[in-house]
Structure 1
């Protein structure tokens, strides 16, 4: 476990916006270019800055990747068409603001590039914190497991893409790589890439992470569009031969969010295009998703999920990936729907019980992992007023976590952005909450975290952002190859005019390559924090 500290990832080289390739009415389309590496900066939230000392003990180095959003881009149950009319509109609550991505045909290629990159780095284990797939479908689940464990990846089910990015569908609201013009080309200077859809649709072999990895469930893994738990009315649609292309004219837009969460089939009752029926698109339940991790191969068996999870219908667990380290994975998904998170009180009690015996320098350090960050942990949708205490939110979880001094790190995703937040314990010390950007959106990064104990007893957490190893310029890769496709994915993601390409998803310098110091674990046992 004592890997040498070497400069990897963005400590050596960063990827940034480069020269302007074309210009649209709303802004330029830029190539990407390499820039000097970003040095590690010291966070001083708990301790003054100090260089790593001789004799420090590295407990483990983990890789954190999140929000792969492995997508079926031609699924009849996708809400891509709703973004056109509902994005930013009153009554929608932001439910469809970010559904369509111009790079979505290349999502599996970006994930494959990152797994290939991480497999070559000195990492002990990986933590994958949810939104592994995009729309809770069986074919997406199969691709995600093939990407992380190795196996055949089929970016387009059936081998042929039938969806709105086809030029012969004639909808210029989308980016149409084979068409001479569209909204993306006119407004943001997007390129034309003839033959891209055909190249992106070809099956390829996923190499896998090649090391133990732990799974966690996110809202997109379980809910239609990452929001609606009401899937029964869409069961025949998702596997059927009609793909909706516009919202129905009679949709009550002033209460669209409520409609999506309760009767989503209303959204899918408008005009449609014929597509081949595909049984493999069936929705999967949480139980089926967990069970799939036990037959996928790779290590550990079940990827953290346990027989108790399968027996009890839960998705939270503990796992010891290295001596002196425990990972506690939470399930922060809300059973009634909506994209934000919370936990039930049974899980909160379970967490408190797990932490009660983990106190003092001889006990393991603890890493929490969840899909949702504390900033998005206030989801009480559908909870009756007379049962308001049914769910627990960020404050309650933090109170329990901060009551155990051995909890030093909380990993999560959901926000598609790099963030590092310090949380302070009333009794001294605290923990760092580290949110990592999405693979599917710019900056398309993962994160390494080295956990070490200094000779002073201080806990050192060193974060390094990682870009996948495809070239900055797609032109530097073989046209049509998986590496070319992953390079193009990153370039398109940077230039997505309605997303985070230029809006701070990369975070600030103190959210990326940072060294975080926490005080030594106290030797005097502390009383457990009550819930």
Structure 2
């Protein structure tokens, strides 16, 4: 197997570039139907701006430059971190000390003087598990809250405001905190939406590319969901009811629900961005194979909001063990509870979208924003019915985005044989380049080998097989993913697996990643976590867009039953990850 040779700049310039091709020629489809939303430092690489329909999209960037002498911790968790006040009850947040950078040398030794020799090769930001959610969607299973905290979170109604605040933070960053390089692009690693809903997809695309969003479906001017149901299972923010959350200290906030469905304005990212798909993006509930009943129920006028604890526990246990991947038991449950359901306003915008409609929406020129058109997807993805692709990160650095969702159902993932073979071919063809691989699922959450209904004869391949494949290719530097909602960085066979926490669960983070050549036979990957731009301490009387983003973070801290280990250990947060490449 060929290897990358020397890491000097001459070797990095021996790259064959693919020419860009003509217009994508995508006809009006779902995208149009969705409508619009009215330490040491190194030098930069220019961001990619155009696309190619070939196997590697986008032109090469300028050659890397020598390191600059300044860097900035400003706006990152190296500087400050949202820190809880108090140990019990409903807690507020304040400014706390930042997390230090940890040097990890499991894969290579940290050599003296490397900071003075470094060259910046790439600098970008990873978003993951935004879970932009239509909280009024009929297919949501909030009634499972007693069994799992992920079924419903008190902060979810503010997910759009929270996402926009994260975008504002990234736009304001002066550059990579380790190198000073401008951020060349952003990559989302899946679960951009929550319910496989067209409305959510429009909100996500508009937030990322810029525009106005009204995070409301159903009745135009009235919220119709569990937070005005009068049920004590959920936080009733505008009701005097002593619901379960208020008994834990959650506040009463008059006007909360009107504010939650009010227009939000997003500046959009000021850099190109790319998209990777997750299970919540293309599966109903993030777990069920698509079917006719779910499409019909999603746009209908009934919503189940209550279920007995015993029934809920049994249903969730079955989901966890993948006992109902096609959702037949879920369908039977909904059909049997029609009379107990709340009547809500039907809305066609809640209809599910297919994987190809997901691609079509990204290709809609209305959502191009700072580019590239399609955000990684091209007309070839439509023609070949695939959601994986490669793209040019920088001269000598290739990005690969995988589709790890198993359309046969269940929230764990896998790859089909065609994709696995494509991945191996791509890695082999680019043996003389550095490669960064992106996916939604992690190595340990790719155990679902259920056949894809669209390709029933195709074998599925799990995380262990993917780890072995990546380990065989010396050009792979990192596998960057999400799904687990937890920061975790693991040394693998010759590369790093970098898993990043979500932006729906506390501590609500994104991650800046910088690749540098140390010119001593090693490379370094710097990872730095960032929070949204919202103030740490929420003002419960401030229902502005910024105030709601602040409340989004505070509510996530206090979500009953939420995991408290999602920030990971210090070595999973702000790091320098060394690699031997000589």
* Offset at residue 484 of structure 1 (A): 0.6
CA contact (8 A) 1:358 1:404 kept: no
1:231-279 deviations in Å (ceiling 9; x for gaps): 3112222111111123499979478433463313223231211111111
Equivalent runs, 1:330-341 vs 2, <5 Å: 330-341=402-413
Aligned to 2:180: none
Aligned to 2:138: 76
Instruction: Indicate how the Cα distance of structure 1 residues 209 and 170 shifts in structure 2: closer, same or farther if over 3 A, else same.
Output: same
Mapped partners of 1:397, 1:495: distance in 2: 37
CA contact (8 A) 1:12 1:38 kept: yes
Aligned to 2:28: none
Are positions 1:244 and 2:304 aligned together?
yes
CA contact (8 A) 1:463 1:514 kept: yes
Are positions 1:350 and 2:422 aligned together?
yes
Instruction: Name the SS of the counterpart of 1:58 in structure 2.
Output: strand
Aligned to 2:157: 105
Are positions 1:202 and 2:269 aligned together?
no
Instruction: Name the SS of the counterpart of 1:517 in structure 2.
Output: strand
CA contact (8 A) 1:247 1:267 kept: no
Mapped partners of 1:186, 1:318: distance in 2: 48
Q: 2:100 aligns with which of 39, 42, 53?
A: 39
CA contact (8 A) 1:333 1:342 kept: yes
Aligned length: 490
Equivalent runs, 1:403-482 vs 2, <5 Å: 403-424=472-493, 430-475=494-539, 479-482=542-545
- Deviates further, 225-234 or 215-224: 225-234
Instruction: Indicate how the Cα distance of structure 1 residues 250 and 490 shifts in structure 2: closer, same or farther if over 3 A, else same.
Output: closer
Equivalent runs, 1:146-157 vs 2, <5 Å: 146-157=206-217
Mapped partners of 1:306, 1:513: distance in 2: 34
CA contact (8 A) 2:289 2:325 kept: no
Are positions 1:11 and 2:52 aligned together?
no
Instruction: Name the SS of the counterpart of 2:286 in structure 1.
Output: coil
CA contact (8 A) 2:105 2:577 kept: yes
Equivalent runs, 1:481-500 vs 2, <5 Å: 481-500=544-563
CA contact (8 A) 2:487 2:501 kept: yes
CA contact (8 A) 1:173 1:182 kept: no
Mapped partners of 2:343, 2:114: distance in 1: 61
Instruction: Indicate how the Cα distance of structure 1 residues 115 and 273 shifts in structure 2: closer, same or farther if over 3 A, else same.
Output: same
Mapped partners of 2:486, 2:552: distance in 1: 17
Higher relative contact order (CA 8 A, sep 6+): 2
Mapped partners of 1:250, 1:439: distance in 2: 31
Q: 2:90 aligns with which of 19, 22, 29?
A: 29
* Offset at residue 216 of structure 1 (A): 0.6
* Offset at residue 62 of structure 1 (A): 0.9
* Offset at residue 389 of structure 1 (A): 7.7
CA contact (8 A) 1:159 1:203 kept: no
Q: 1:505 aligns with which of 543, 547, 566?
A: 566
CA RMSD, aligned part only? 2.2
Mapped partners of 2:573, 2:387: distance in 1: 29
Aligned to 1:118: 170
Instruction: Indicate how the Cα distance of structure 1 residues 249 and 467 shifts in structure 2: closer, same or farther if over 3 A, else same.
Output: closer
* Offset at residue 165 of structure 1 (A): 0.3
TM-score by length of 1: 0.88
Structure 1 residue runs without a partner (length 5+): 21-26, 88-95, 425-429, 522-531
Instruction: Name the SS of the counterpart of 2:126 in structure 1.
Output: strand
Aligned to 2:397: 325
Mapped partners of 1:400, 1:338: distance in 2: 24
* Offset at residue 117 of structure 1 (A): 0.8
Are positions 1:297 and 2:340 aligned together?
no
- Deviates further, 449-458 or 414-423: 449-458
Are positions 1:180 and 2:234 aligned together?
no
Instruction: Indicate how the Cα distance of structure 1 residues 230 and 292 shifts in structure 2: closer, same or farther if over 3 A, else same.
Output: closer
Are positions 1:276 and 2:345 aligned together?
yes
Aligned to 1:129: 189
Mapped partners of 1:137, 1:274: distance in 2: 19
Are positions 1:218 and 2:264 aligned together?
no
Higher strand fraction (1 or 2): 1
Aligned to 1:308: 380
Aligned to 1:265: 331
CA contact (8 A) 2:149 2:560 kept: no
Aligned to 1:63: 125
